[in-house]
Amino acid sequence: MTRLNSFHLPAESWPGNQNGPWVLDGPEARHLLKVLRAAPGERLRLFDGQGREGLFVLESAERGRALLTPESITALPLPQDRLVLALGWNKSSRRDWLLEKAVELGAWGLAFWRAERSQGEPPTAPKDSWQDKLVQAAKQCANPWLPQLAVIPGGIQGLAAFAQGFEQCYLCWEKAETRHLPAPGDLGRGRVLVVLGPEGGLEPVEADRLLEAGFRPLSLGPSVLRWETAALLCMGLAHLDRGSRP
């Protein structure tokens, strides 16, 4: 069966009941009606990025809006296994790529923080363009969940406070001994936070502060990995672990 086109309808735009009205407007409607030239009767998928998705039929177009009728709607339970990466801020051309891979590999969240060796200052809040990247990736891979984005203020102290509430906290550190390689299930089970430093690594005082706060050191092998490579490896390990379970 041909894969249906997917469209993002934010959670606040979903009606309170299945009877609707169901309306797709803005850029998503323009893409459906102007670019794809969808005709009444065509089927499509809507998702809100928070675990809801459904199959819909295009009934009509009205002043640039698409009026839809639902065929089925599914609300998924909140996953018990949720991996969040806290990434030291970088001026990196690979950030957009990493946002896309976070969706494809099912990361629960990405949080950016300023380390001592960070290149520049992160914004005070996630950018709209980051959210757009997540949405576009979710359309391609059909993930009903969008990773949660955050910017953590306060440097290493703010990061330690952010870690409260996670079941497991790891410091992915180039100086960790290889005996601290992740075991099967370490990153894919429960509420897990993994901290990565920026390009250039962490200052020793930053690593010491996190280890004193109860973070466990984590090694990804003998090679020194780039920022996005280490993040991708962590997400991939968690993704494979989740997929290995019935």
Structural domains in the chain, sorted by start: 6-75 (2.40.240.20), 82-243 (3.40.1280.10)
pLDDT value of residue 33: 95
- pLDDT tens readout for residues 99-157: 999 999 999 999 999 999 998 899 999 999 999 999 999 999 999 999 999 999 999 99
Cα distance between residue 33 and residue 26, in whole Å: 11
Neighbours of 238 (CB within 10 A): 26
Contacts of residue 103, Cβ cutoff 8 Å, sequence gap at least 6: 134, 137, 138, 141, 143, 146, 147
What's the Cα-to-Cα distance from 12 to each of 8, 16, 67, rounded to whole Å?
11, 10, 17
Residue 83, H or E segment: strand 82-88
Residue 151, H or E segment: strand 148-152
| Average pLDDT, integer, range 223-242 | 91
Q: Report H helices in 142-175.
A: 155-162
Q: Over the chain, what is the mean pLDDT?
A: 92
Strands (E), 6-64: 6-8, 22-24, 43-47, 52-62
- pLDDT tens readout for residues 132-142: 999 999 999 99
Of the two residues 16 and 166, the one the predictor is more confident about is: 166
The three-class DSSP label of residue 1 is coil
Of the two residues 178 and 12, the one the predictor is more confident about is: 12
Strand partners, 47: 8, 53
pLDDT above 60 for 63: yes
Cα distance between residue 113 and residue 210, in whole Å: 14
Predicted confidence band of residue 92 (pLDDT cuts 50, 70, 90): confident
Edge to edge, what strands does the sheet with 43-47 contain? 6-8, 43-47, 52-62, 65-75, 22-24
Hey, CA dihedral for 39, 138, 11, 106, is it positive or negative?
positive
| Percentage with pLDDT > 90 across the chain | 77
Predicted confidence band of residue 246 (pLDDT cuts 50, 70, 90): low
| Average pLDDT, integer, range 62-76 | 94
| Average pLDDT, integer, range 236-241 | 93
- Max CA distance (Å), the chain: 62
pLDDT above 70 for 199: yes
Structure-token match 């950030």, residue found: 95
pLDDT value of residue 1: 46
Identify residue 50 by its one-letter amino acid code. Q
Strand partners, 172: 196, 218
Hey, CA dihedral for 49, 55, 59, 61, is it positive or negative?
positive
Strands (E), 1-81: 6-8, 22-24, 43-47, 52-62, 65-75
| Average pLDDT, integer, range 195-203 | 91
- Respond yes or no on whether the N-terminal peptide bond of residue 21 is cis (omega within 30° of 0): yes
| Average pLDDT, integer, range 72-97 | 91
